[in-house]
Amino acid sequence: MVNLIGTYECKVDSKGRLMVPSALKKQLSPVLQDGFVIKRAVFQDCLELYPMEQWNVLMAKMNKLNRFIKKNNDFIRRFTAGVKTVEVDGNGRLLIPKDLVDFAGIQKEIVLSSAINIVEIWDKNKYENTIEAASGDFGDLAEEVMGNEEFNGIS
């Protein structure tokens, strides 16, 4: 399992290619050869880049859903809409498919933000606006999410 650290600003070219920052590529080195899955985020207008190992773990959990329950089937369809496999090429570049570039509103400047075991890919302006909008209530959110007994002793 990969635990990623860092936020990186970089640029995307007109074809949707980005140069993976060397510090991030170093963290991803154990999983680079297996490739990645890129998809639309559920809650934000950004993309999520899953190392294949993490994607397979998630798919194993989702495969346990009963597809004869309409909500489950609808969820699976929407969750996997636009999913693509991608690889980092020999030059250290990653190609973001055009439909996903459009979904996330990616312009030239982007932010790659680690989210534990995946990487979020944001248009830079959208990322900054999202972080700014959430800054006021972050303390309350942290208390609600992390303040229970399960996380006792973490600070």
Q: Which pLDDT tens digit goes with each residue over 45-65? A: 999 999 999 999 999 999 999
- Amino acid 8: pLDDT: 97
Domain count, the chain: 1
How far apart (Å, rounded) are the C-alpha atoms in residues 95 and 16? 6
**CATH number of domain containing 105:** 3.40.1550.20
Percentage of residues in the chain having pLDDT higher than 90: 81
DSSP readout, 75-109?
Answer: HHHHHTTT-EEE-B-TTSEEEPPHHHHHHHT--SE
- Amino acid 154: pLDDT: 59
Q: Is residue 143 part of a domain?
A: no
Q: Single out the residue of 40, 38, 8, 24 nearest to residue 92, CA to CA.
A: 24
Average pLDDT over every residue of 70-81: 95
Range of the domain at 110: 7-124
Q: Is residue 139 part of a domain?
A: no
Q: Is residue 132 part of a domain?
A: no
Q: Single out the residue of 37, 38, 18, 21 nearest to residue 29, CA to CA.
A: 21
Q: Is residue 151 part of a domain?
A: no
Q: Is residue 85 part of a domain?
A: yes
Asked if the model's pLDDT at residue 155 lies above 60, the reply is no
Q: Is residue 105 part of a domain?
A: yes
pTM for the model: 0.90
How far apart (Å, rounded) are the C-alpha atoms in residues 145 and 129? 22
